[in-house]
Amino acid sequence: MNPRILAATAARVLTQLRRDHRSIAMILVVPAGLLSVVYWLFENETLPPGAPRTFDRVGLIMLAIFPFVVMFLITSITMLRERTSGTLERLMTTPIHQADLLFGYGIAFSLMAALQSGVATGVAYWVFDLDIDGNAGLVVAVAVLNAVLGVALGLFCSAFARTEFQAVQFMPVVVVPQILLCGLFVARDRMNDVFQAVSDWMPLTYSVEALQEIAANSEPTGAMWQDFATMGAIVLGLLVLASFTLPRKSS
C-alpha cells in the first residue's frame, strides 16, 4: 500500500459522494429519521414498573443496522460502477495496488459512517433519551465497525453482479436474513438450532451481541471485546476475499 495513493483514492471517493446530495442525505438524515419512527411507534406502550422501554432495546440495535445496510448499498453500487465503467481496468494499469483501492473505499465510507452514527446516536440520546448502562462512545464504535462491515460485504458482493439492478438484489439475499436472525426480533437462544447455527456465521449477530453487552453493563465486558474482535476478523477476511475479485489481468 502507498499512503499517497491511498489518501488520493479516499479523497476521490469522498469528492464523488460530496457531489451527490441525495446520497449524503441518505447517509446522514435518513437513519435519524427512521429512528424517530421507531421511537414514536413505541411511544404509548405501557410498561410494568422498572422494565426498560422497547425503544432502548430496538432503537439501540437500529443504530447498528442502519450503517450496515446503507453502506452495503452505497458501496456495492459504487464499486460496480467502477467495474463496469472501465475505470477499474484503467486503474489497474496505474501504480495503484488493489489494497489501496479497497482501503481507500473503506476509509472514505467509514468516515461517512462515523458521521452517520454520530448523528443517529446523538438523536437517540439527546432527543429520545436513550437509556442504557454502557458508554455512548462504544455504541458509536459498534456502528462504525458495522458500517465497515457493510463496506467490505458490498465490495465483495459487487463482483457477483453485472448490473446495478443485480447489485440491489443482494439486499434481500445477503442483508435481510442477517436482520431477521441477529437477535432483534427473537433472542438467539430462543431460536431453533438451525437458525441459531446459521446466525453464528452472520457478522451482524456479533454487533447486536456487542450492543446488548454495552446496554447491560456500565463497564466494557470481555464478551463485548470478543464480539469486536470477531467483527474485525470478519471485516479483514471479507476485504481479502474482495481483493481476489479485483484481478489485474482478465483471462
Partner 1 sequence: MPHMPAHAAPTPPSIEADALSVRIRRTPVLDGLGFTVPEGRITGLLGPSGSGKSTLMRAIVGVQRIRRGSLTVLGRPAGASALRGRIGYMTQDPSVYRDLTVMDNVRYFGALHGRSAADSRAAVEAVGLSDVARRRAGSLSGGQFSRVSLACALVGEPELLVLDEPTVGLDPVLRADLWGQFHDLAAQGTTLLVSSHVMEEAGRCDSLLLLREGRLLAQLTPAQLRERGGSDDLEAAFLGIIRADLARQEAGLPAPTKEHAA
| Contacting residues toward partner 1, per CB under 8 A | 4-5, 8-9, 12, 15-16, 19-20, 85-87, 89-96, 248-251
| Residue with smaller CB distance to partner 1, 40 or 90 | 90
DSSP per residue over 74-88, as a string?
HHHHHHHHHHHSSHH
| Residue with smaller CB distance to partner 1, 18 or 133 | 18
Q: Across 111-203, where does the E strand assignment appear? A: none
Of the candidates 247, 216, 223, 80, the residue with the CA atom closest to the CA atom of residue 160: 80
| Residue with smaller CB distance to partner 1, 22 or 190 | 22
| Residue with smaller CB distance to partner 1, 104 or 203 | 104
Query: Min. distance of Cβ 248 from partner 1 in angstroms?
Result: 6
Query: Min. distance of Cβ 250 from partner 1 in angstroms?
Result: 6
* Burial grade of 83 (CB within 10 A; 0-12, 13-18, 19 or more): middle
| Residue with smaller CB distance to partner 1, 20 or 131 | 20
Query: Min. distance of Cβ 170 from partner 1 in angstroms?
Result: 22
Nearby residues of 204 by Cβ (< 8 Å), 6 or more positions away: 64, 65, 68, 146, 149, 178, 179, 182
Cell numbers for 75, please give them: 458501496
Whole-angstrom distance, CA of residue 29 vs CA of residue 23: 10
Q: Which residue has the cell 460530496?
A: 18
Query: Min. distance of Cβ 242 from partner 1 in angstroms?
Result: 19
Query: Min. distance of Cβ 5 from partner 1 in angstroms?
Result: 6
